[in-house]
Amino acid sequence: MAKSRTLYVCHECGAEFPQYFGRCSACHAWNSLEEQVEQPAPTPSQRFSWSHLPGENPEGLPSATKPGQPRASFLLSQISDQSQSRMPSGYAELDRVLGGGIVPGSLVLIGGEPGIGKSTLLLQVAHILSHTKRVLYVSAEESGQQVKLRSQRLEVATDSETETETETETKPENGNQHPPTPTADPFTEQLKNRHPKVESAATPITEQDLYLLPETDLEVILRELESLKPQLAVIDSIQTVFFSSLTSAPGSVAQVRECTSALMQVAKRENITLLIVGHVTKDGGIAGPRVLEHLVDTVLYFEGDRFASHRLLRSMKNRFGATHEIGVFEMVAHGLKEVSNPSELFLGNRDDFSPGTSTVVALEGTRPIVVEIQALVSPASYGSARRATTGVDSGRLLQILAVLEKRVGIPLSKLDAYVASVGGLKVEEPAADLGIAIAIVASFRDRVVDPRTILIGEIGLGGQVRPVSQLELRLREAAKLGFKRAIIPKGQSPADLGLQIIPVSKVIDAIIASIPAQPPTMNDEF
């Protein structure tokens, strides 16, 4: 009979050691090793295998001839894809991040800072899907009464708020025509056409097929999943459930690894979609071992500023869709509301023609978002110049400042430089280099960039403006929002979208084209 052995596991990175050390040699964290007893490996009868499942299975694979008999290999074309049709979540923004909807039998891990809205989002999704699906909400952090109170708070955002918003949008002002409604995202319209029953996330919350299980013991949770057989289950959260057979505390590396593995086996066997909430560390990563992110199919991060109302749902891993896709939500008094046109959210007041402002088109996954960049250049108050950024990569800023000083001749080494993106959206791709550079030069010269101009291009170390990917997609988004001119890298020839295209090959050419001799007047309408 196999014997258990003692290991020391780092609770920061999950590294294992045969003896105790004061500092983890993998992540260099101090006092992070915890003693754990490794249980003996399970017998072959306890292990999970797809090839030993008799009869029909959720993957639509050819069945084994006898129970327990291993299945031979088969052609990929023999697998039925009927059971893998995606189901809508009720939020077009969430469906976009997931690649078009929720895949049955998948494991989705959602992480984020405390209070960012993870549980709120999943509870709203669970309520919406409970109208057509059987849903189980496992609350390992709250009691049943607490979840009920939270659901009652979300219930207010239903008919009354929807009617109020409808009256506000349709009521004419001073007898004039109805104000124009913002252009909806084509992806949102496509999802609504595909799933007409799920048109809005403001569906009245009712207890249809929504079951609540306030439990932390994983064995009880697994029995409930196998007996209830829901189409969707929410685990809130993975760091608070535990295996009673393990001696380590809930949230430890061993507990998170074993609990996730057991949940994955049940989800794949019963074709249950699992939405799992994960805590994050002080560095922003998912708490627990790295194997947690490897076991699940999709990893989503819920981001946001506690001083702002909008939230970003970002895909970091997705086996069924594009990575780095984002969905935009807004936190209101009664929960989360999706933002179908995020470009309007990250555009500042276009009537305020202040110096040091430019506009770029950032690409998040397959979604173009128009973002306003603001820069401020001022004399250094102390001996060395300061460089500070908000939403912009600090390394890119230092590189752009060096190019402007060396290739353009602008003395910036003794000046403080502050660069920020409106709304706090993280703009990390190189295509925003040109807009950042123009904003810095405009602030240095105290001039105004035409707010009807969009800037797209990567800046090389030699001062060149390099081509970017998906240029036509970016320009189409700019044209939809009413921009008139676009300064783009020379050599790229996009389709005619009604924009005045100005190709440039050097940064100095972009400066001349974007900062005219006379700035636009206040009478010019955007």
Q: Is 113 annotated as a binding residue?
A: yes
Position 484 scores a pLDDT of 93
Helices vs. strands in the chain: H and E counts, helices first: 13, 21
Residue 449 · residue 437 · CB < 8 Å:
no
Position 17 scores a pLDDT of 87
Token couple for 124: 């709203």
Q: Is 117 annotated as a binding residue?
A: yes
For 96-135, what is each residue's pLDDT tens digit?
999 999 999 999 999 988 888 999 999 999 999 998 899 9
Q: What share of the chain is helix, strand, coil (3-state, %, to 5)?
A: 30, 25, 45
One of 3.40.50.1370, 3.40.50.2300, 3.90.1150.10, 3.40.50.300 is the CATH number of 86-159+186-340, namely 3.40.50.300
Residue 142 · residue 212 · CB < 8 Å:
no
Position 365 scores a pLDDT of 80
Comparing CA positions, the residue from 455, 445, 451, 465 lying closest to residue 508 is: 465
Position 205 scores a pLDDT of 43
Token couple for 473: 């997609």
Q: Is 116 annotated as a binding residue?
A: yes
Residue 234 burial (CB count, 10 A): 27
Q: Where are the domains of the chain?
A: 5-40, 86-159+186-340, 344-514
- Convert 245-264 into a string of H (helix), E (strand) and C (coil): CCCCCCCCHHHHHHHHHHHH
Nearest-10 crossing angle of helices 218-228, 253-270? 10
Position 219 scores a pLDDT of 94
- For 108, the 3-state DSSP assignment is strand
Which residues, at least 6 apart from 190, have a Cβ–Cβ distance to it below 8 Å? Answer: none
Q: Which residues of the chain have pLDDT under 70?
A: 1-3, 38-72, 81-84, 155-208, 288, 348-353, 516-526
Q: Is 462 annotated as a binding residue?
A: no
Q: Is 286 annotated as a binding residue?
A: no
Alpha carbons within 13 A on the beta-carbon side of 31: 0
Q: Is 114 annotated as a binding residue?
A: yes
Yes or no: domain 344-514 corresponds to CATH 3.30.230.10 = yes
Token couple for 172: 């004419």
- Tell me the DSSP string of 38-100: EPPPPPGGGS--GGG-BS--TT-PPPBSSTTPPPPP--GGGS--GGG--B--S-HHHHHHHTS
Position 228 scores a pLDDT of 92
Position 161 scores a pLDDT of 40
For 199-246, what is each residue's pLDDT tens digit?
334 444 445 689 999 999 999 999 999 999 999 999 998 999 999 888
CA 143 from centroid of its chain's CA atoms = 28
Position 44 scores a pLDDT of 43
Distances in Å between the Cα of 446 and the Cα atoms of 56, 316, 354, 438 are 71, 40, 9, 12
